[in-house]
Amino acid sequence: MPQLKKDIAFVEFDDAGKVSFKELLKSVSSDPSIANNKPLQYFQIDPRNGDRVVYSIARARRPHDTNKLSLEGTQPTASGSCVVCEGKTTAIVDMASTSEGFTFINKNLFPITYPFEEEPKGSDPFSRTGQCAIGTHFLQWPSNRHDRDLDNMPLEDTFIVLKRLCVLEKNLLHSAVSGMPLSYRHKDGNHYGYIGVIKNMGRLVGGSIVHGHHQIVHTNIKPRKIMDYQRFKESALGGGMGFSQYLLECNPKEYFVKEYKGGTVLLIPHFMKRPLEAMILFRGSSKDYLHHLSEEELYSLGEALHDVTDALKILMPRLGRELAYNWIIYEGDIGGVHVEILPWTQEMGGYEQLGIYLCQGHPESTASYYRELIH
Ligand SMILES: [Zn+2]
């Protein structure tokens, strides 16, 4: 299997924790290939539910030609190579050694938000109802090895990957100079803007790169889900505690899959919308961000992510489904950071769009499938 070698990687910074926010921003805005693919400067809001919409025509142009300078569409060629492994990527902004090589973070060539420096032009038709969108978009590669990801890496390496993610996240959120709204007050430093950490695995759920990676967006756009969580926290059901504590207390015990060290819990939510959906939560923790977690919690998170994604390689084919899933880390003033794993086990139909999900599975059977494989 191919792998990115240290001598062909273009390393701009090797520790994102030691680079100022402004330097990181400049690194993005001074890259002409990223500027060429930047999204619109405005986002829209669906007045019905607050969904945010960003617009990027460039992302439809993502080349699926491995000979082009590309971070996306990197299907391995006949010779088994990929553009990431060949070093045809944007510059690296963080790099750390692992037992098998290294893990790194670089800039997304097709960002969903861009660090626009100028004020938006009033003549833009979107300015009538839209709002100004700014931000940065990075990619984290757990391994320079093409065939390595959280599902098959040594846990010690996964821990290093998550720690590097925390370093970048902290740097981005703690920068008052970002011009982003104050989003969170904390004794160790206030947060500015919002963070979105996700993984798209498989072509059916938006994963256009085979070489395993995660995405990190830092933006002034407050995700609709974060508003939902805040509303829940203030509701009678949330009782000021928030979703994590609610689910840990109220979810049926037979839907729990495993409890890890440090009070990290893998469970199937009682409202499972699709077969094999799962969540990772932290017991007794009021920590709202990834970089607030203790080392033990972070290590357990890596273990739980490994367990679920490794199990999905067996469970999805058993359902006759191609391997494809998203995971999303929910972070913010929401009453506890947690992770949702959404395997693409059923298509979306019209009733789902109406807000009624027809789920072709039961939470108790999903929990037992996972328990068979995860001990
Ligand atoms: Zn590769």
Average pLDDT over residues 106-113: 95
What protein residues have CB closer than 5 angstroms to ion ligand 1? 82, 84-85, 146, 211
Instruction: Give the end of a domain, one of 190, 206, 222.
Output: 222
| Phi-psi label, residue 327: left if phi above 0, alpha if psi -120 to 50, beta otherwise | beta
Does residue 3 lie in a domain region?
Answer: no
What's the CA-to-centroid distance between 183 and ligand 1, angstroms?
A: 36
pLDDT band at 78 (very low <50, low <70, confident <90, very high): very low
What's the CA-to-centroid distance between 318 and ligand 1, angstroms?
A: 27
What's the CA-to-centroid distance between 55 and ligand 1, angstroms?
A: 28
Question: 298 with 136: CB under 8 angstroms?
Answer: no
Does residue 13 lie in a domain region?
Answer: no
What's the CA-to-centroid distance between 205 and ligand 1, angstroms?
A: 19
Same domain, 185 and 283: no
Say if residue 297's pLDDT is above 50: yes
Average pLDDT over residues 228-244: 93
What's the CA-to-centroid distance between 366 and ligand 1, angstroms?
A: 32
What's the pLDDT at 59?
Answer: 83
What's the CA-to-centroid distance between 261 and ligand 1, angstroms?
A: 33
CATH classification of the domain holding 205 = 3.30.428.10
Average pLDDT over residues 200-208: 89
Residue carrying the six token digits 């959906």: 277
Burial of 201 (C-beta count, 10 Å sphere; 0-12/13-18/19+): buried
Contacts of 36 (CB under 8 A, 6+ apart): 58
Average pLDDT over residues 15-34: 95
CA 19, chain centre distance (Å): 22
Average pLDDT over residues 55-76: 58
CA 53, chain centre distance (Å): 17
pLDDT band at 74 (very low <50, low <70, confident <90, very high): very low
Same domain, 197 and 118: yes
What's the CA-to-centroid distance between 90 and ligand 1, angstroms?
A: 14
What's the CA-to-centroid distance between 343 and ligand 1, angstroms?
A: 23
Average pLDDT over residues 121-138: 76
Average pLDDT over residues 58-73: 54
Average pLDDT over residues 17-38: 95
Same domain, 240 and 215: no
Same domain, 97 and 215: yes
What's the pLDDT at 374?
Answer: 98
Does residue 46 lie in a domain region?
Answer: yes
What's the CA-to-centroid distance between 6 and ligand 1, angstroms?
A: 13
What's the CA-to-centroid distance between 96 and ligand 1, angstroms?
A: 17
What's the CA-to-centroid distance between 302 and ligand 1, angstroms?
A: 22
Instruction: Give the end of a domain, one of 194, 222, 250.
Output: 222
Say if residue 129's pLDDT is above 80: no
pLDDT tens, residue by residue, 269-292? 999 999 999 999 999 878 999 999
| Total number of domains constituting the chain | 2
Say if residue 61's pLDDT is above 60: yes
What's the CA-to-centroid distance between 280 and ligand 1, angstroms?
A: 28
Does residue 1 lie in a domain region?
Answer: no
What's the pLDDT at 121?
Answer: 63
Same domain, 263 and 210: no
Does residue 212 lie in a domain region?
Answer: yes
Same domain, 145 and 256: no
Least confident of 65-69, 142-146, 307-311: 65-69
Instruction: Give the end of a domain, one of 222, 246, 281.
Output: 222
What pTM was computed for the model? 0.93
Say if residue 62's pLDDT is above 90: no
Say if residue 124's pLDDT is above 70: no
pLDDT band at 349 (very low <50, low <70, confident <90, very high): very high
Same domain, 241 and 207: no
For 353, the domain range is: 227-373
Least confident of 126-140, 176-190, 232-246: 126-140
List own/partner pairs for 130-134 with CB under 8 A and 24 or more apart. 130/42, 130/43, 130/44, 130/45, 131/42, 131/43, 131/45, 132/41, 132/42, 132/220, 133/39, 133/40, 133/41, 133/42, 133/43, 133/54, 133/219, 133/220, 133/221, 134/41, 134/179, 134/180, 134/219, 134/220
Same domain, 142 and 280: no
Same domain, 211 and 316: no
